[in-house]
């Protein structure tokens, strides 16, 4: 009887802990989750490619200073970060998706209009 109880408890613990250990999301040194560039939506990969080439950019606000008012990215002086629109198919406006770059070549992706960020790994 005791053996059955212990095995059930271990099974429940394993079921709870296993998904945590198998998560594909990791965190960066900044505490943000990370995502590989190859795992981003195709539109985001195209935006990164345009950034790498220096443009031209399809939206007038692409390249403007990102203020980091949400304070979710590491604190830097104003002008350190710049934002770029990631096209959202079917959206009538710029949508919620953005790439934010830093002066030290870091790249962040948000698909919820700055509520959360993931560090993009190349």
Q: In a structure prediction context, what are the per-residue pLDDT tens digits for the chain, which is 122 residues long?
A: 544 544 554 444 434 333 333 334 455 556 789 999 999 999 999 999 999 999 999 999 999 999 999 999 999 999 999 999 999 998 889 999 999 999 999 999 999 999 999 999 99
43 is annotated as an active-site residue: no
The confidence score (pLDDT) of residue 65 equals 98
Choice among 43, 70, 83, 106 that is catalytic: 83
CA atoms within 13 A on the CB side of 69: 5
* Rounded Cα gap, residues 79 and 59, in angstroms: 19
Q: What torsion do the CA atoms of 81, 73, 71, 44 make, to the nearest 10 degrees?
A: 70
Report the predicted TM-score, pTM, of the whole model to 2 decimal places.
0.76
- Domains parsed from the chain with CATH numbers: 25-121 (3.10.450.30)
Choice among 43, 70, 82, 113 that is catalytic: 113
83 is annotated as an active-site residue: yes
């Amino acid at each position: 009887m005791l053996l059955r109880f212990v095995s059930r408890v271990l099974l429940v613990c394993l079921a709870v802990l296993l998904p945590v250990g198998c998560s594909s999301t990791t965190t960066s040194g900044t505490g943000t989750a990370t995502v590989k560039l190859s795992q981003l939506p195709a539109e985001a990969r195209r935006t990164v490619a345009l950034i790498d080439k220096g443009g031209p950019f399809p939206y007038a606000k692409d390249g403007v200073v990102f203020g980091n008012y949400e304070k979710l990215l590491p604190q830097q002086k104003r002008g350190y970060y710049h934002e770029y629109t990631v096209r959202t198919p079917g959206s009538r406006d710029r949508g919620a998706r953005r790439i934010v770059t830093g002066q030290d070549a870091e790249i962040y992706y948000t698909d919820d209009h700055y509520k959360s960020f993931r560090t993009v790994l190349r």
